[in-house]
Amino acid sequence: MVRIPAGTRRRGGAVTAALLTMLLVFVGCGADDGRNDDAVGSGTPSKIVSLSPTTTEMLFAVGAGDQVVAVDDQSDYPAEAPRTTLSGYTPNLEAILAYDPDLVVLTDDNNDIIAGLDRVGVEVLRLPAAKNLDETYAQIQQIGEATGHAEKADQLVASMRDEIERTVRTVPLREVPLTYFHELDDTYYTVTDDTYLGQIYGLLGLRSIASGQNGYPQLSTEYILESDPEIIFLADSQCCAVTPEKVAARAGWSDLRAVVNGQVHVLDEDIASRWGPRVVDLVRDVAQIVSGVDGQPSN
pLDDT band (50, 70, 90) for residue 24:
very low
Q: Which residue type is seen at 45?
A: P
Task: Report whether pLDDT(169) > 90.
Answer: yes
Neighbours of 94 (CB within 10 A): 7
Dump pLDDT digits (tens) for 25-70. 333 333 333 333 444 445 799 999 999 999 999 999 999 999 999 9
Looking at residue 173, what DSSP letter applies? P
Return the closest-CA partner of residue 164 out of 127, 134, 131.
Answer: 134
Whether 273 and 239 have beta carbons less than 8 Å apart is answered as no
- pLDDT at 39 (0 to 100): 42
Q: Which residue type is seen at 11?
A: R
Whether this prediction's pTM lies above 0.85 is answered by: no
- How many CA atoms, within 13 angstroms, populate the side-chain half-sphere of residue 116? 13
Q: Quote the CA–CA distance of 282 and 93 in Å, as a whole number.
A: 34
Return the closest-CA partner of residue 8 out of 139, 160, 164.
Answer: 139
Counts of helices then strands in the chain (DSSP H, E): 13, 9
Q: What is the mean pLDDT of residues 285-289?
A: 94
Q: Which residue type is seen at 284?
A: R
Return the closest-CA partner of residue 294 out of 188, 195, 172.
Answer: 172
> Strand order in 264-266's β-sheet?
206-208, 178-183, 231-234, 264-266
What distances in angstroms separate CA 240 from CA 106, 119, 266, 278, one per listed residue?
Answer: 27, 41, 12, 23
Dump pLDDT digits (tens) for 84-123. 999 999 999 999 999 999 999 999 999 999 999 999 999 9
Q: What is the mean pLDDT of residues 162-186?
A: 94
